[in-house]
């Protein structure tokens, strides 16, 4: 080895390093051709080639199996790294004994120390898979909620059209789909108010805190004793609406 250093002068340390045939080569060979690449091949399908539907269809026992495999591979990856790192350190130590600490080759080896590689980086991991499944399930739930709301809204519009038709109002002439619900609600509100007023108003209203047994006729701006300002409110929709007096 001494010959190589002294003869080349300003040598190319990388080229030289290759001629030394260090354990790095073993590590690299093992990494690209060994069990890790075989498993990476298997798991590339597992993680990256699964469709969302396939991910969601994984059973708990399948997930457990993947988890166990990942843990096993992680261990092997760790052992592989330890072996290569130990050999690299031994080589640096030996070279330091042969050359001074300023040797470019030693510097090169230290700079290019074996880095712990996680082959999961390229193909995802069990944790990523679990996270994907969780996100997909949440997305599904959101879509279900949106569909439910959308369905309820369409159903309400449909009911409003029937309600308004029964009042001899025509779609496209007297109302359109965008304001059918609002119009139906208004009509029903006015009907219920007229009925309540004809019946003499209400004995009680929200926020009534009058001294005497008060009430409201449903028309005046104030309750019978004049203590509170009251107006009508409604809840539900045109098909199941109820109205009540409310102080404000
Ligand atoms: Zn009152």
Q: What's the mean pLDDT in 174-180?
A: 95
Ligand 1 centroid–CA 245 distance in Å is 12
Averaged confidence pLDDT in the chain? 78
Q: State residue 117's pLDDT score.
A: 55
How far is 176 from 30, CA to CA, in rounded Å? 72
pTM: 0.55
Ligand 1 centroid–CA 235 distance in Å is 23
How far is 223 from 230, CA to CA, in rounded Å? 6
How far is 48 from 120, CA to CA, in rounded Å? 11
Q: State residue 230's pLDDT score.
A: 96
Confidence label for 49 from pLDDT (cuts 50, 70 and 90) = low
More confident residue, 6 or 48: 48
Q: Which of 4-18, 38-52, 123-137 has the lowest mean pLDDT?
A: 4-18
pLDDT at 152 > cutoff 60 = yes
Ligand 1 centroid–CA 234 distance in Å is 21
pLDDT in tens, 22-35: 444 333 433 333 34
pLDDT at 119 > cutoff 60 = no
Ligand 1 centroid–CA 243 distance in Å is 19
For residue 127, which of 77, 80, 74 has the smallest C-alpha distance? 74
Give me 113's structure tokens.
Answer: 């120390």
Ligand 1 centroid–CA 236 distance in Å is 27
pLDDT at 3 > cutoff 50 = no
pLDDT in tens, 199-241: 999 999 999 889 888 999 999 999 999 999 999 999 999 999 9
pLDDT in tens, 137-147: 999 999 999 99
Ligand 1 centroid–CA 208 distance in Å is 7
How far is 158 from 171, CA to CA, in rounded Å? 11
Asked if residues 31 and 81 have their Cβ atoms less than 8 Å apart, the reply is: no
Asked if residues 227 and 209 have their Cβ atoms less than 8 Å apart, the reply is: yes
Q: State residue 100's pLDDT score.
A: 66
Ligand 1 centroid–CA 73 distance in Å is 79
């Amino acid at each position: 080895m001494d010959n190589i250093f002294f003869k080349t002068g300003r040598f190319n340390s990388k080229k030289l390093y290759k001629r030394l045939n260090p354990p790095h080569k073993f590590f690299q060979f093992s990494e690209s051709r060994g069990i890790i690449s075989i498993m990476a091949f298997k798991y590339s399908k597992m993680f990256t080639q699964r469709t969302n539907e396939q991910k969601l269809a994984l059973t708990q026992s399948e997930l457990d199996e993947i988890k166990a495999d990942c843990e096993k591979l992680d261990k092997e990856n760790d052992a592989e790294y330890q072996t290569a790192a130990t050999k690299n350190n031994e080589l640096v130590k030996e070279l330091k004994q042969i050359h001074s600490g300023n040797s470019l080759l030693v510097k090169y080896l230290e700079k290019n120390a074996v880095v712990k590689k996680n082959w999961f980086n390229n193909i995802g991991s069990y944790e990523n898979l679990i996270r994907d499944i969780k996100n997909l399930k949440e997305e599904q739930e959101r879509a279900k909620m949106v569909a439910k709301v959308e369905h309820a809204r369409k159903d309400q519009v449909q009911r409003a059209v029937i309600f308004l038709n029964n009042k001899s109002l025509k779609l496209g002439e007297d109302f359109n789909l965008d304001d059918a619900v609002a119009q139906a609600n208004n009509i029903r509100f006015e009907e219920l108010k007229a009925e309540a007023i004809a019946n003499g108003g209400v004995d009680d209203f929200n926020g009534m805190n009058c001294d005497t047994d008060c009430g409201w006729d449903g028309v005046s701006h104030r309750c019978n004793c004049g203590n509170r300002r009251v107006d009508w409110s409604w809840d539900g929709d045109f098909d199941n609406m109820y109205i009540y007096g409310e102080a404000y």
